[in-house]
Amino acid sequence: MKPYIRPPQETKTREKKEKDTGPKGDVEITDQVIDIEDDKDLDFTKQENIDKILTKYRNQQTSRKNFDINQHIEVLNIMFSAQKPEKLDLKIEILMLLISSYFMSAKKTLSGYFDRETWLTTNDKIS
């Protein structure tokens, strides 16, 4: 009765695996060309590019990782000027992020506050 209730277990034999010690034979190594696209070169008339950059810059400001203030200000100014006048909600969103970048730039200065030129530019954007 025992063989029917609990059948004997089959013993598995383990085969030794050959360790891969490296490439066998000749292996060709090919160079890969990686195109890095600059944010300034994007077409800001397309909504997907605008959404991608706005999300990227918001995340960089929040985490302060890879945060380049000068690049943010330059790209956001280009993006703002590329928008049509009827896209008012998008222009406001870009301006808010741009103003935030200006205030972040004030924190990064040696004195810790705006210089006159930056304050006048920021005041113009706010107005």
- String of DSSP letters for the chain: -HHHHSPPPPPPPPPPPPP--S--S---------PPPPGGGS-TTSHHHHHHHHHHHHHHHHH-SS--HHHHHHHHHHHHHHS-TT-HHHHHHHHHHHHHHHHHHHHHSSSSS--HHHHHHHHHHH-
**Which of 54-58, 74-78, 101-105 is least confident?**
101-105
pLDDT in tens, 9-63: 666 666 666 665 655 666 676 777 666 667 777 788 888 888 888 888 888 888 8
Q: Which residue has the tokens 């969103």?
A: 93
Residue 107: per-residue pLDDT: 74
Tokens linked to 52: 């991608």
Please provide the average confidence, as pLDDT, over all residues in the chain: 78
Asked if pLDDT for residue 121 goes beyond 60, the answer is yes
**Which of 6-10, 67-71, 75-79 is least confident?**
6-10
Alpha-carbon separation of residue 14 from 11, 68, 114 (angstroms) = 10, 57, 72
80 touches 92 (CB < 8 A): no
94 touches 83 (CB < 8 A): yes
Q: Which residue has the higher pLDDT, 119 or 108?
A: 119
Q: What is the pTM of this model?
A: 0.61
